[in-house]
Structure 1
Amino acid sequence: MTSSAPRILVIDDEAQIRRFLDIGLRAEGYEVLLAATAKEGLALAATQSPDLVILDIGLPDMDGHDVLAELRQWSQIPVLMLSVRDAESEKVRALDQGANDYVTKPFGIQELMARLRALLRHRTGEPDVPPRYDDGRLAIDLARREVTLDGTLLALTRKEYAVLAMLLHHAGRVVTQQQLLRELWGPTHTADSQYVRIVVGKLRQKLGDDPVSPRWLKTEPGVGYRFLSGA
Structure 2
Amino acid sequence: MRKSSTRCTVCSAPLAPALQTGRPRRYCSATCRSAARRQRGREQKQTAAAVQRRCSTDLAGQACGREVEYRLVVHGQDTRICARCYDLTLQYLIERGVVASAVEVYAVAAAGPGSSGVTGPFSVDHEPDSGSELRVLFIEDDDRVRHALVPVLNRRGCRVLSVANGRQGLEAAYVNELDVVLLDLGLPDIDGIHVLRQLRAVSDVPVIVVSARGEVDDRVLALTDGADDYLVKPYDVAELLARMKRVVRRYTAGLKVDHVYDDGVLRLDSFRRKAHVAGVELILTATEFRLLEVLAHQAGAVQSVEKLLARVWGEPLGADPDRVKFAVSKLRRKLDMTDLGSDSLVSARGVGYLYQPPHPHRERVRTQQGRATYGHSARVLEILNAQDRVVRLGEIVVDLTQHEVRVAGRQVPLSRKEFRLLTMLASSGGAVCSRENLLTEIWGRCGGWESRSLDIHIATLRTKLGRPELIQVVRAASQDRSTEDECPRDRVFGYRMPKPHGNR
Over 3 Å counting, the alpha-carbon distance change for 1:21 and 1:66 in structure 2 is same
Offset of residue 123 of structure 1: 2.2
Match of residue 124 from structure 2: 2
Render the CA deviation track for 1:178-200: whole Å, top value 9, x for unaligned.
xxxxxxxxxxxxxxxxxxxxxxx
Match of residue 92 from structure 1: 220
Render the CA deviation track for 1:106-156: whole Å, top value 9, x for unaligned.
1111111111111111122379xxxxxxxxxxxxxxxxxxxxxxxxxxxxx
User: How far apart, in 2, do the equivalents of 1:19 and 1:85 lie?
Assistant: 21
Alignment of 1:142-181 (within 5 A): none
User: How far apart, in 2, do the equivalents of 1:21 and 1:122 lie?
Assistant: 24
- Identify the match of residue 116 of structure 1 among 244, 248, 254: 244
User: How far apart, in 2, do the equivalents of 1:108 and 1:51 lie?
Assistant: 20
Question: What secondary structure does 1:40 align onto?
Answer: helix
Render the CA deviation track for 1:163-208: whole Å, top value 9, x for unaligned.
xxxxxxxxxxxxxxxxxxxxxxxxxxxxxxxxxxxxxxxxxxxxxx
Is structure 2 residue 190 aligned with structure 1 residue 62? Answer: yes
Q: Report the residue type matching 2:125 in the other structure.
A: S
Question: What secondary structure does 2:202 align onto?
Answer: coil
Q: Report the residue type matching 1:3 in the other structure.
A: D
User: Highest Rg: 1 or 2?
Assistant: 2
User: How far apart, in 2, do the equivalents of 1:10 and 1:25 lie?
Assistant: 10
Q: Report the residue type matching 1:21 in the other structure.
A: L
Q: Report the residue type matching 1:72 in the other structure.
A: R
Match of residue 181 from structure 2: 53
Offset of residue 18 of structure 1: 0.9
Render the CA deviation track for 1:60-84: whole Å, top value 9, x for unaligned.
0000000000000011110000111
Offset of residue 44 of structure 1: 0.7
Question: What secondary structure does 1:72 align onto?
Answer: helix
Offset of residue 6 of structure 1: 1.8
User: How far apart, in 1, do the equivalents of 2:230 and 2:170 lie?
Assistant: 19
Percentage identity across paired residues of the two chains:
38
- Identify the match of residue 165 of structure 2 among 37, 46, 64: 37
Gaps of 5+ in 2: 1-122, 127-132, 260-504
Question: What secondary structure does 2:168 align onto?
Answer: helix
Question: What secondary structure does 1:98 align onto?
Answer: coil
User: How far apart, in 2, do the equivalents of 1:107 and 1:101 lie?
Assistant: 13
Is structure 2 residue 197 aligned with structure 1 residue 75? Answer: no
User: How far apart, in 1, do the equivalents of 2:236 and 2:204 lie?
Assistant: 26
Question: What secondary structure does 2:214 align onto?
Answer: coil
Over 3 Å counting, the alpha-carbon distance change for 1:3 and 1:16 in structure 2 is farther
- Identify the match of residue 18 of structure 1 among 136, 140, 146: 146
Q: Report the residue type matching 1:2 in the other structure.
A: V
Offset of residue 2 of structure 1: 3.1
User: How far apart, in 2, do the equivalents of 1:89 and 1:31 lie?
Assistant: 32
User: How far apart, in 2, do the equivalents of 1:73 and 1:119 lie?
Assistant: 19
Offset of residue 3 of structure 1: 3.1
How many positions carry a matched residue from both structures? 127
User: How far apart, in 2, do the equivalents of 1:31 and 1:69 lie?
Assistant: 25
Q: TM-score, normalised by structure 2?
A: 0.25
User: How far apart, in 2, do the equivalents of 1:26 and 1:2 lie?
Assistant: 14
Offset of residue 51 of structure 1: 1.0
Gaps of 5+ in 1: 128-231
Question: What secondary structure does 2:198 align onto?
Answer: helix
Offset of residue 23 of structure 1: 1.2
User: How far apart, in 1, do the equivalents of 2:144 and 2:150 lie?
Assistant: 10
User: How far apart, in 1, do the equivalents of 2:245 and 2:144 lie?
Assistant: 23
Q: Report the residue type matching 2:209 in the other structure.
A: M
User: How far apart, in 2, do the equivalents of 1:78 and 1:118 lie?
Assistant: 10
User: How far apart, in 2, do the equivalents of 1:121 and 1:34 lie?
Assistant: 22
Larger RCO (alpha carbons 8 Å, 6+ apart): 1
User: How far apart, in 1, do the equivalents of 2:124 and 2:235 lie?
Assistant: 31
User: How far apart, in 2, do the equivalents of 1:106 and 1:6 lie?
Assistant: 22
